[in-house]
Each structure stands twice: as C-alpha cells, then as structure tokens.
Chain A
C-alpha cells in the first residue's frame, strides 16, 4: 500500500497532467480557428472586393465609351477620352492586384479568361473610337450597340469569378465554426474529468486519513489524562497513520508496566520496616555499655587536650574494651616521652637560633659597611675617571690646537717666502727706477750742454743775443735742478734698496724661525698625541676598574641583602622556637624536664667566650644526634635516644 505522501503526489500529478493536456488541446484548436479567420480576412474577402471593383470599373468604361460617342463638344469628347483612359488603367491595376492574391499552385485560368474577354472587348471597340474621333457618330453608335454581346460575355465571366471567391470565403468560415464546436465539447469533457478527479481525492482523504487522525488524537488525550483502557485504532495500517498509532500503543503499554512496578515497590518497603523494629531492643542494651566506656575515654581525652600527659585510664573496663584502655594508656605514655624529648630539643634550638641571629646581625652590619665603602670607592673612581677623561679631551683639544698652529706656521712660512719675493720685486723695480733716473740725468746733462751751446751762441751774437742768453741761462738752471733732483732720487733709491735688502734678510730670518717653529710644533703634536693616547688608555683602564668595582658593589649588595634575609630568617626561627617552647610548656610532662630547661641558660652565661659558643653550636649541629644524646644523658637515663 502507498504511503499518504505518495498518494498525495499521485493525485496532484494526475490533476496536473489533465490540466496540461486540456491547455494544449485548447491552444491547438484556437490556432486552427485563427488560421481559418486569417485566410478569410487576408485572401478571400479582398479578392471578392477586388472582383466587384473590376466589375464596376468595366461598367464605368462602357459608360465612358457611350459618353465619347455621344459627346457634342470637343471639351466633352476630351473629358470622355480621359475617362476612358483612366478606367482602362484602373482595370489593369485591379486585375494585377487580384493576380497577386492568388494562392500558390492555384489555377489562374478564370482570371486569364476574364482578362482575355476584356481585351477582346477593348480591341473590338478601337474602330468605334476611331469613328467617334472622326465625327462619324452614326457608325460609332452602330459599333457600340454591336459590342454589347462581347461586354456581356466579359460580365458573365466576371460574375463567375466573384461567385467562386464568395463560395470559398463561406467555406472557410464554416470550417472555423466546425473547429470551434469540436473544441468546445472537448474542453468541457476535460474540465468535467478534472473536477471529478479532485472531488474523488478530497473525499478519499476525508474518509481514510482525517477520520483516523481525529480518533488517534482523541485516544492520545485520554492516555495523557491517565486512562490506560482506551482502545488504539489503526495499528494495522501500513502508512504514517499506522506508525503513529503503533507509537501511541507503545505509550499505553509503558504506562501499564509502570503501574505494576510501583505496586511491587510498595510491598518491599513494608517488609523492611517490620525487620527494623525487631532489632532495636538488643541495640539499646549495647549502647548503654558503650556510653559508659566512651564517657571515661572522653574524660581521658579531655585531660589530654588540657595538656595533662600524666593522665592514665585506671577504671575497670569490660573485657571487650580492655584492649582499648591498654592502648590509650600506652599511647599517652609514648606521647609523654616524645614530648619530653621535643621540649629539650626546642630549648636547644631556641638558644642556637639566638646565637645565629646575633651572628647574622653582625654579618649584615659588616656587609653593609663594606657595601658603603665600595660605593664610596666606586664614586671616587667615577670622579677619577671623569678627571682622566677630561684631561684626555684637553689633550685632544691641545693636539688639534697644535695641529692648527702648525698649519698656521706653515702658511706663515709661505707668506714669508712671498714677502721675500715681493722684496726682490721691489729691488728690481728700484733698479729700473735707477736706470730711468740715469736716463733723466743724462737728458739733464745733455740739456745743460745744449743750454751752454745756446749761451755761447747768444754771447757771439752780442747785444742781440742777450735775451736768448737769459733763456739759455734759465734752461741751464732747469737742467741743473733736474740733475740735482735725479741725484737725490738716486740717493733715496739706493737707501731704499738697502732697506729692502735688509728687510728681505729679516724676512728670510723670520722664515727660518718659522720653519724651526713648525718643526717644534710637530714635536709638540707628537707629544700631545702620546699624552692623549695615554689619557685614553687610562680612561679605558679606569672604566674597566670601575666596572669591576660596580660588579663588586653589586655582589656586596646582594651579600648584604642575603645577610639581612638570613638575619630575618634567624629571627623568625628564634620566634618560632619561642613559640614552640611556649606550646610545649602547655603540656604537663613531669618535674625533671622543667629543671633541665631552667638549668641550660645558666650554663650558657657562665663565661664561655662567644667563639667557643659558636664552635659549640657548630659542633652540636654537625655531630647531630650523638651530641644531643650526651647533653640529655644526665636528665633522662631511662629513655633510649639512639632509637629516637
């Protein structure tokens, strides 16, 4: 049997197929009708119309012929001739349009026949028109009457053509109507089928599915309210509803099983209650005895908790609790012994830790002092490093300054050389000046001679030459003055040359001195470089020393911190030892231990030096249990300490 889902799918598919088939059929039929109507509107109707128009045009032609024959005036004749031509052209156009609407493969015989008849008619009347043209109206009218038979032949053929077209138009309309009628009945049948199918499927679901589901939901509500007697329908079905019904059946079965289990548990509980009531009497008796024992043990434990380790259980215990009494007493005994040993140990630890803390205090103090000294040393070294660095920098600066000086001195040497050459130039210029002065002197000499000659000539001329003699005298005086001036200049030049020579010598000396200075400056440069290098080395070394000192300082600081930590630890240890002693004092251990605890500090203070005490402590700590045993021997002979 199909599941509900598949049933639904099948139904929907059937409905869908019917719809699609119906739609396809309708579309196909509509296409056929459309074809027919298109044929009618596109071909048959126009052909019928054109045929009628051809008929009317031919009639018009004949009327025009009559008009032509009967025309009385030339204007009328011309009008009729024009009409004739127009109608003939119109007929030719119409018949061409008609031919264009012929189907492919359709016989053109009827149209050809119409055209033939028309052409025969037109040709037959050509003579008539000639008569009409020539004014022979009687002959023309005669021919017109005779041509009527030809025209009727043509008109009959024309009618046949029109009728045939009309018939075929009607036939196409009939075909379209037939297709429509057929389609209408087919679509009606399809719609009816689909409606029936839908109704059947709805009824099927109503009866077969919704009815059963309603009953199942009712049964589930009953089950939920606790009615387990309800019947479950439809468990035998094989679809989803059947599965649901089976699941609800399982719920029902589980409910019935749970009720059965609850009843069984109730019965068991009743049995257990009865057994418990039977046991309670025997238990009460044993409890009384146990309470007594517990009370005495509680008393013992109370005194123990109060620190009284000398307490023992001395009452007579029932035989089954005797073991408990013995064990308690033995435990307290052991505890007392152990506490005694712990008390002694605590005293010893206390005194030792005091010494340790004293020693570590001193150590911490010294370490701090050392750290302080190291810090001071580091600071001093830092300062020293700074000083050395400064002197190294100064040495560098001196080096640079000296180098600059050297450069300056070398430049000065160059200047001196230039000065010497300038002096040489001056000397050369002086020599040239001297030469020029010589020339001037020579000129003056020659002038003087000329003036003398002039004077002589003037003297020869007697009184007439007197004025000329005066002029010559003046020229001589001038020449002599020139000579004197030249002499003076010569003197000056020579003295200047001497001075220039001595200046050149001095400048040379300066140059030599400068060269010596340059050499010495070079030596100074080397020396300062050495100094600078040495200072750098010193600074580097000092930096290294400083780093070492800083390292030492750091280590010492760490030592100091550690010493302080150990001091704090030893103090804390001493406190802890005190606390231990105080705690142990809370216990009552018997008189012997107290006396020992009092005696030990007295022995410590009896004049041993600190070093001895320290050694003693070390010895005590290193020799361990044996030394401890030696000290404790006199007090507790009976105890076996090696074992402890």
Chain B
C-alpha cells in the first residue's frame, strides 16, 4: 500500500532490477535486504514461487519477481538479492537480480502508469518515474503478492 508515503512531499523508493527492468519498491514496505540463499522448494507451489527461506526463525516464502511480472524466470546467482517486504501481517521475499539504489523522488515527478486496456499489466504498476533516462515502474505490492487464500493453497 503506497498510501503510507502519499501525504508527504516526496516518496522514498528502493530501485531494483528484475528481468532487465528497473522497478521501484516503497522503502517503508521493505523490512530487510538479504543476499541470495538457496530456498527450500515448496511442493505444489505456483511457478513464480521459488520456495521458502528462514529469516531469524521465521519461514518466509520467496517469489521470483521477474517471473511474477511475466518477464521470464530469474536465474539466481551470488549477486541475486532477496528483498523482504511487509505485506500486511506477512513477510514475503522477492527475488531480484540486484538492488540498484535508494531513491528519494519528489511526488510531483511521478506519473501514472499508462492505461492501454483494462486488466492485467496496469494492475501491477502504481506509477512511473523517469530516473537518469530510464523509466522506473513503481510496483503495487498487493498485486505482486498473491492474496492469502491463493498462497495458502
């Protein structure tokens, strides 16, 4: 829920790379950034779920962000990074290629995601921002992380 930073003049973002694309994540939703560790596979999980890892005693599911966004499966390496995000009461790990930067952008510079048609694509992106000549898509976490019943299934 990006609403937490809405009443401020600027937004704080973490820019990550997944599937050769730059994405922004709300910094306040991010609990921790960790290096790659091989997750334990989760039986009968959706294809974008890599498995589960432990974070200080808590078992956390890991989602391949690239795969989730339909940009192709990420081949994990030592440089791959797990971004732990708070989603309501749950902690979910997102597998990205790398974390690029911490960015503080004026709220005014954000543009809404282009509306091509109803449905799919636009549901995942809240807004876009131009950053050093590239387009940064700010992700909508509630879209990225499946609803609880699906995850529980």
Contacts and interface: CB of A to CB of B under 8 A. Distances in A.
A460 interface: yes
A445 B102 contact: no
A336 to B, nearest CB: 156
B78 A449 contact: no
A449 B28 contact: no
B28 A453 contact: no
Contacts of A460: 27-28
Contacts of B33: 449, 452-453, 456
Contacts of B35: 445-446, 449
Contacts of B30: 456
B81 A449 contact: yes
A443 to B, nearest CB: 11
B27 A442 contact: no
Given A442-B78, A449-B99, A456 B34 contact: no
Interface string B38-78: 00000000000000000000000000000000000000001
A473 B101 CA distance: 9
Nearest to B102: A455
A459 B99 contact: no
B102 A449 contact: no
Contact of A452 (B12, B28, B78, B99): B99
Contacts of A446: 35
Nearest to A480: B101
Contacts of A442: 78
Interface in B91-134: 99, 102
**A interface, over-half SS:** helix
Interface string B19-31: 0000000011010
A486 B34 CA distance: 21
A395 to B, nearest CB: 71
B79 interface: yes
B136 interface: no
Given A449-B34, A452-B99, A453-B33, A459 B78 contact: no
B32 A453 contact: yes
A280 B12 CA distance: 202
Given A446-B35, A449-B33, A449-B35, A456 B27 contact: yes
A459 B12 contact: yes
Contacts of A453: 32-33
Contacts of B14: 452, 456
Contacts of B79: 445
B107 to A, nearest CB: 15
B34 A459 contact: no
B73 to A, nearest CB: 22
A442 B147 CA distance: 35
Contacts of B81: 449
Contacts of B78: 442, 445
B79 to A, nearest CB: 7
Contacts of B28: 459-460
Given A445-B78, A445-B79, A449-B81, A459 B27 contact: yes
A473 B79 CA distance: 20
A452 B100 CA distance: 10
Nearest to B100: A452
A445 B28 CA distance: 22
A86 B43 CA distance: 168
A333 to B, nearest CB: 160
A424 B12 CA distance: 52
Interface in A458-510: 459-460, 469, 473
Contacts of B102: 452, 455-456, 459, 469, 473
A446 B28 CA distance: 21
A460 B27 CA distance: 8
B126 to A, nearest CB: 18
Contacts of A456: 14, 27, 30, 32-33, 102
Interface in B1-22: 12, 14
Interface in A395-447: 442, 445-446
Interface string A182-216: 00000000000000000000000000000000000
A456 B32 CA distance: 8
Contacts of B34: 449
A473 B27 CA distance: 15
Contacts of A469: 102
Nearest to B36: A445
Nearest to B30: A456
Residue with the highest number of chain B CB atoms closer than 10 Å, among A455, A456, A469: A456
A480 to B, nearest CB: 10
Contacts of A445: 35, 78-79
Nearest to A450: B33
A442 B81 CA distance: 12
Contacts of B99: 448-449, 452
Contacts of A449: 33-35, 81, 99
Nearest to B8: A462
Contacts of A452: 14, 33, 99, 102
Contacts of B12: 459
A471 to B, nearest CB: 13
Nearest to A449: B33
A644 B81 CA distance: 157
A561 to B, nearest CB: 112
B93 to A, nearest CB: 13
Residue with the highest number of chain A CB atoms closer than 10 Å, among B12, B34, B79, B102: B102
B97 to A, nearest CB: 13
A228 to B, nearest CB: 177
Nearest to B12: A459
Interface string A28-71: 00000000000000000000000000000000000000000000
List 5 tightest A-B contacts by C-beta distance, closest first: A455-B102, A452-B33, A459-B12, A459-B27, A449-B33
6 contacts: A449-B33, A449-B34, A452-B102, A456-B32, A459-B12, A459-B102
Interface of A: 442, 445-446, 448-449, 452-453, 455-456, 459-460, 469, 473
Given A456-B33, A459-B102, 5 more contacts: A445-B79, A449-B81, A455-B102, A456-B14, A459-B12
